[in-house]
Structure formats: structure tokens, C-alpha cells
Amino acid sequence: MRLAYFSPLNPQPSGISDYSEELLPHLADAGAAVDLFVDGFAPSNRAALARFRVFDYAADPSVLARLDDYDAALYHLGNDHRYHAGIFDAMRARPGIAVFHDFALQDFFLGLARTRGDLDIYLDEVEAEHGATERAAAEEALRRGGIPAHFSRPLLYPLNRRLARAAEGIIVHSAWARARIEEIAPATPVAHVNHHITPRAAE
């Protein structure tokens, strides 16, 4: 299997970076031909660099055109927009298998909207998931310089529906998350895969 792998990696200080660097050798040992797609940084793990090809789609967006050559694209999604914004954009352009490391994505969408100076990024997700009335309430809170009430209730307003329904498949790390995602995106296959790969890493 040829796999296009989108994830934060060290030196980006993220638990998802550590998780991916733990997982990647196991995928390769199982026979997957994995290429790493990164968003404007150079991975620092020498073992990974020696074993996997790296494509920087921020420096050269044309590399994304080759995604149809892979059996699957795997997108690791989390709440820190600094490390997942490019992954989000790539997944919207070419859906694949999404790994939801966080069930609720309020932090991601609000952080991304503020960083890009476009609050519609956040408000569009609120409206798509909960309707025009909820969007208007969130917009009014932001206009006054406050935080939308939705933000403090992420399990009720997870802002993950459009991503979940657009994905070819979803991986989550708990049975609870799997049950919730199956309710949100009943047509999308969902798998529960425990977070750690090795007993030592789980200690």
C-alpha cells in the first residue's frame, strides 16, 4: 500500500508529532510505502528522514497533485491550528482518511479564523453544523469582542461534522469518540484504534 501521510512531526512540539514518529516505523514494517507530506518545515527525526521521502507542500504546492497516485491519504487532525491548518486545507482539497486526535475542533477553527483574519472560517462551521441562528449568536459575540458561548461547550458544538462527512474514513482513539462520530457522520466508516502503539510508549 502506498500511503501519503500528513501530520505534525518534530521539531513541532506536539504530542501528535511524537505519536506519528512512534507509528511510522510500524506502518513501514507492515509493508506500507509511506511518504511524508509536511507544511513548511523540515522534520528533525533522522531515522524518519533516512526511511521516508518528504514532500513540503507549503514550499511546492504542486506535490499535492500526486495524491491520486496513492492508495490512501492519511490526515492527522488536532486542535492546534499552527500545526494542522495546512493539513486541513489539503484534506478539503483531496479527502482521505482523517485521524481525529480531538473530537471537538472549536479551538482549531476559532484560532485559524483569527490567525487568517477571516472569522467566516469559524462562523461557517457553526452555521453548517448548527444553523443560521447559532451563527448569528456567535457572530454577535465576536463583534462585541467576546468569545461565543459555543466555545465553552465544545462537546455540544464540536464543529467536526463537515470534516467527518467529507472524509473517506475516520480513525479515533476511544470507543466514546467512535460512537459520537458514527452519529455525526453515519455514512463514513469509523475505526477505533488505541492511541499508543507499543506497551513502552503507553507507560
Query: Do 52 and 24 meet the contact criterion of CB atoms below 8 Å apart?
Result: yes
Query: Do 183 and 158 meet the contact criterion of CB atoms below 8 Å apart?
Result: no
How many angstroms separate the CA atoms of 48 and 7, rounded?
13
Mean pLDDT of 59-88: 96
pTM here? 0.93
Which residue, among 12, 6, 20, has the nearest Cα to 43 in the 3D structure? 12
pLDDT of 24 strictly over 70:
yes
pLDDT of 194 strictly over 90:
no
Residue 128 CA: distances (Å) to CA of 104, 122, 163: 15, 10, 11
Render pLDDT for 138-191 as a digit per residue (tens, 0 to 9). Answer: 999 999 999 999 999 999 999 999 999 999 999 999 999 999 999 999 999 999
By DSSP bridging, strand 72-77 and strand 53-56 are unpaired
Mean pLDDT of 44-54: 93
What is the percent of the chain with per-residue pLDDT over 90, rounded to a whole number? 92
Work out the pLDDT band at 202, boundaries 50, 70, 90.
very low
Give me the amino acid identity at 68.
D
How many angstroms separate the CA atoms of 94 and 73, rounded?
8
| Cis bond upstream, residue 11 (ω within 30) | yes
pLDDT at 198: 53
Mean pLDDT of 181-203: 79
Q: Which residues contact 147 (CB under 8 A, 6 or more apart)?
A: 141
Report which of residues 73 and 48 the model is more confident about. Answer: 73
Query: Do 159 and 106 meet the contact criterion of CB atoms below 8 Å apart?
Result: yes
pLDDT at 203: 47
- Residue 54: phi and psi, rounded to 5, are -120, 130
| Cis bond upstream, residue 189 (ω within 30) | no
